[in-house]
Amino acid sequence: MADLISASSLAYAPDLITELGGEPAILIARAGIDPAVSGARDHYIRFSALAALLTACAAELDTPDFALRLAARQSIDILGPVAVLAQNAANATQALRGVIRFAHVYSPAIASRLDVAGSEATLEFAILERRVGSRAQAVERALAVMLLVLKALCGSDFRPTRVTFQHDQVSARDVYLDHFHCPVDFGEPRNLMSFPAGVLRGRLRGDPLLYDMAVRYMVDRAPDAAFDAVVTAHVRQLLTAGTATLAAVASLMAVHPRTVQRHLKATGRTFESVVDDVRRDLALDLLADNRVPLSVVARRTGYSEQSCLTRSCRRWFGMTAMAKRRALASNAERESQRLTKYPGRTGTTGSISAGSSGTEVSHF
What's the fold here for domain 5-219? H-NOX domain (3.90.1520)
- pLDDT of 85: 94
Report the C-alpha gap between 63 and 20 in whole angstroms: 8
- Please enumerate in sequence order all residues whose Cβ is within 8 A of that of 208, keeping only pairs 6 or more positions apart, or say none: 88, 90
Report the C-alpha gap between 86 and 76 in whole angstroms: 9
Give the full edge-to-edge strand order of the sheet including 120-127: 110-117, 120-127, 191-196, 162-164, 184-185
- pLDDT of 361: 31
Any alpha helices (H) in the chain, and if so which ranges? Answer: 13-19, 24-30, 47-60, 66-73, 81-87, 92-101, 103-106, 136-154, 173-180, 208-219, 223-239, 246-252, 257-266, 271-287, 294-300, 306-317, 321-341
Report the C-alpha gap between 8 and 38 in whole angstroms: 7
SS3 119: coil
Per-run averaged pLDDT (10 residues), the chain, 364 residues: 86 97 95 90 89 96 97 94 93 92 90 92 90 90 96 93 96 96 96 94 88 86 73 83 87 81 86 93 90 92 92 94 90 68 46 30 29
Residue 181: φ, ψ to 5° = 55, 40
Which 8-state DSSP code applies to residue 168? P
Report the C-alpha gap between 102 and 309 in whole angstroms: 40
SS3 357: helix
Report the C-alpha gap between 89 and 153 in whole angstroms: 9
* Among the four given CATH numbers 3.40.50.1000, 3.30.950.10, 1.10.10.60, 1.20.1260.10, the one describing domain 223-341: 1.10.10.60
Determine the distance from the C-alpha atom of residue 40 to the mean position of all C-alpha atoms in its chain, rounded to a whole number. Answer: 8
Q: Name which of 67, 71, 43 is nearest 56 in CA terms.
A: 67
Report CA-CA distances (Å) from 246 to 51, 177, 238, 271, 276.
26, 48, 11, 7, 13
Where are the domains positioned within the chain? 5-219, 223-341
- Please enumerate in sequence order all residues whose Cβ is within 8 A of that of 216, keeping only pairs 6 or more positions apart, or say none: none
